[in-house]
Homo-oligomer: A and B are copies of this chain.
């Protein structure tokens, strides 16, 4: 049985989510490979040691470059802040390692393009953590769309709105600085763009608006306020290559929305509605139902739908956030050991970044922009 040895950089929320998924995946999916949690990196040695134990890794280091260079590492798994993705991924690719990277891929479409080309030239596998696309409910949505059951898609309305920065007393951080984080709400909550592309295909033109609502935030341990450099909320109109039109909205200051990743896909024969806060449900409306029995039906995902059966034997039991990461890790490991294409790879993540770059240009120039 092949071994896949993972080196994970980062011990924050995403680091832990990856650790859980890497550990749990083999018990969920009978993949023909041994996944080994080999090496964990955190710049603070004490933290690295603590989380090495807690995350069930074999070894730790306080030097990510040592991790990237470590011979016992096959996959470099990047869960560090956005501004480090580029350097880490490029170093890993240079070492011929596969790269598993959290989103957004980098700070700019330019960086992402460079990373994509480097990875493709090196022939390494890549996967970017757009985990919500792995949810069986969204996989079912894709299946329904591809089957033609809702006809030709004519409209897409998506949101990814949360309220993690709605409280103005939340302090200043790297997430609010252009050099460290890139875009704000659009950059962090770009899952919905990935989802639009997954479900409706390429986006050709966008016209966007954005706004920083809370312009200054308290700096921890200081009386000064930090200037917020990226947007709190944004929305855009889009035109898809296939002819549909749509809108997308992202916000980090939308009181009440915790994971307001939603979409409504309208077709010429039916519609789909989804809300990640109820991740095990897909609303499906079919114009093919008898006219006096039509209505949105709530499909609870179950063993007949993609990837669900490995988790539970019946609908209603339900998957959680971490289970999406388990599916993602399955795709990563299977892609590597079976030399199969992985989605979403760097190129797919670049497509998201291209939309965001166009959105920003559109806002700055106050006009429609080609992606």
Which residues in A have some Cβ–Cβ distance to B below 8 Å?
A: 13, 16-17, 19-20, 23-24, 26-28, 30, 53-56, 150, 154-155, 157, 159, 162, 164, 166-168, 207, 209, 211, 213, 233, 235-237, 239, 245, 247, 249, 251, 253-260, 266-271, 273, 276-280, 284-287, 289, 291-300, 302, 304-305, 311-323, 366-368
Q: Which chain B residues border A316 with CB–CB below 8 Å?
A: 162, 257-260, 276-277
A-B CB contact pairs (8 Å), 10 listed: A23-B23, A24-B27, A30-B53, A154-B233, A166-B287, A168-B268, A233-B245, A237-B237, A284-B293, A292-B304
CB distance from A103 to the nearest CB of B (A): 15
Distance between A297 CB and nearest chain B CB, rounded to angstroms: 4
CB distance from A73 to the nearest CB of B (A): 19
Q: Which residue of B lies closest to A302 (CB)?
A: B258
Q: Is the CB of A155 within 8 A of B233?
A: yes
Give the nearest-CB partner of A213 in chain B: B154
Q: Which residue of B is nearest A35, CB measured?
A: B56
Q: Nearest chain-B residue to A261 (Cβ)? A: B316
Given contacts A24-B27, A166-B287, A312-B13, contact A299 B294 (CB under 8 A): yes
Measured in the bound complex, the distance between the Cα atoms of B292 and A237 in whole Å is 33
- 17 extra interface residue pairs, beta carbon distance < 8 Å, beyond A13-B313, A237-B237, A295-B297: A27-B55, A154-B253, A155-B233, A155-B254, A235-B247, A254-B266, A255-B267, A256-B285, A258-B302, A259-B316, A276-B316, A292-B305, A294-B299, A295-B300, A296-B298, A297-B297, A320-B321
